Structure 1
């Protein structure tokens, strides 16, 4: 299975400093990946150095076999620590927006943001990472784009807070992730494609138009975030960007990588003039990786690593 690790230099720094680490949303994709990477870096010191918060209190088993307790996010106001590195992943994503009452969805996410911001205002932080979303570019009002509008609110709120705290902050507008701990296996296109291939089924695509995506590795995103925080850097808000590919081509690429053969593709005929492009803008993501001395995972590696996780 693909290994999730921080850059060796970052892992060494983490082992030599005493800064505590707090992770919210630890049960989600980015959260679980972050826990694994901190576990690989800190080993037996992990429980003493890292405190994780999830939707509910429970224990989880990491790949190393280590058990880690997750605290309920609602307990964060009762927590006190020396100034920590703070990785904030807790959020109700866009899937919840389509299944919940709008007012309840908006209130729940604003409550999460306020809870975390009040904690940080009281406790301080040594560095802050908050993933945002490409949904911010859809604009509109809460009624039509609640997830994107709330994410833009979060961007402004956490940037201002980090400035007041004089702490480095990283905000990445995440578009399309790949890699271990992928979740929502029935809604994420990459997961659906790979599961069809691994199950030796035809790949089914439902969109009646071209759909373009550009994937980035979850571990690369976390390495860039930690690298910036450890060096005290606060980059401008940036998009994650990778190789742009249409989903039909992605399915064939994955098929050749995993089976050596083309895949049978089931999809509706494309309607003329329609296209869905959900792609990051700009070159900041790759430039940050270069500055930090990182080699980003290419698309082939992302496909193979994601498939290895799904197969395990």
Structure 2
């Protein structure tokens, strides 16, 4: 194992405070969209936090019935999301990650895309009371800020609008019932199980480095991104879900970096060279959240932000062909 891989496995955990709080809470955990990359990464975090009680306390829901396999060999049966309302009442935390992503807009008529996502969220929202939910995490998106932006593309505006509706509806549920809603506008997140590698700059750079290809930034303008680790984000989510009732809304943060800096950080961890096309425009494509507010929230809950180098190593380790099983 090369130096950059040392210690990666031991880091793929919730913080001890979050893991202990979740374990002690006794809550059932329902994960929607469990087969997506955020869902699988979250299931892995729950697996190590809950240990032997994982199978009894965690319920995975998604587009269809199938068996999900985590990297350590743990399996969990995913049930169709339509069956969420059939769960027996019990104190429950719902981690709502089910959503048709923005890239699907190109494949589906706008009205059908909106209706499909509204149906997904409607199923979850209607089930919260009957199944005994005390809290719900809504994985919103930084795209929500573009819902009313005339300068954004039509797909981004539609996606952002639907995310805004989710934010509003689940927050309203919490206020009406005395429950807890944690709403995170997620900008750029790192960690295992990432898919669609070429669609994400970080993943594309990592693939280039692992393949001994030059890391190349081709954008003719500045592109700025801020990254947070999935384990850091979900540790915060767990602690907020188990905190006082109400609505807890925040943006993910991370240090805003131009892609040349991101590529250089990848090269520093994994080795390789980076080249950047000349910047010939004043345009700035920035997609990052409120870093200071996010860091203050982490500090308040005793969570240390994961350094970018560790985020790169954690993500890259899951992208190499080999996986040494952890038991």
* Structure 1 residues without counterparts, runs of 5 or longer: none
The alpha-carbon deviation at position 274 of structure 1 amounts to 1.6
Alpha-carbon distance between aligned partners in 2 of 1:281 and 1:10, rounded to the nearest angstrom? 23
Alignment partner, residue 287 of structure 2: 278
TM-superposition CA deviations, 1:165-220 (whole Å, max 9, x none):
21122101000111122121120111001101110112233322111000000111
Instruction: Check conservation: 1:60, 1:68, Cα contact below 8 A.
Output: yes
Contact 1:124/1:165, CA 8 A, preserved across alignment: no
- For 1:118 and 1:63, the matched residues in 2 are separated by 33
1:307 aligns with 2:316: yes
2:85 touches 2:131 (CA, 8 Å); kept in 1?
no
User: What is the SS of the residue equivalent to 1:169?
Assistant: strand
Matches of 1:72 and 1:158, distance apart in 2: 21
Q: Give 1:294's aligned residue.
A: 303
Structure 2: runs of 5+ lacking an equivalent: 1-7, 323-327
Aligned counterparts of 1:151 and 1:98: Cα–Cα separation in 2: 17
> Which residue does 1:177 correspond to in 2?
189
1:162 matches 2:171: no
Once the two structures are superposed, the pairs formed by residues 74-89 of structure 1 within 5 Å of their partners are 74-89=82-97
Question: Do residues 227 (structure 1) and 239 (structure 2) align?
Answer: yes
Deviations, residues 64-108 of structure 1 (Å, cap 9, x unaligned): 322211111122233223130110000011111122211111110
2:174 touches 2:247 (CA, 8 Å); kept in 1? Answer: no
3-state SS of 1:128 partner: strand
**Conserved? CA contact 2:61–2:78, under 8 Å:** yes
Contact 1:139 1:149 in 2 (8 A): yes
Give distance in 2, aligned partners of 1:298 and 1:234: 30
CA contact (8 A) 1:121 1:161 kept: no
Is 1:212 equivalent to 2:224 in the alignment? yes
Q: TM-score, normalised by structure 2?
A: 0.89
1:47 and 2:59 aligned = no
Question: SS at the partner of 2:133?
Answer: coil
Aligned to 2:67: 59
2:145 aligned residue? 137
Q: What TM-score do you get using the length of structure 1 for normalisation?
A: 0.93
Cα drift, residue 272 of structure 1: 2.1
Within 2, Cα distance between the matches of 1:234 and 1:165?
Answer: 9
SS of residue paired to 2:67: strand
Deviates more, 1:18-27 or 1:197-206: 197-206
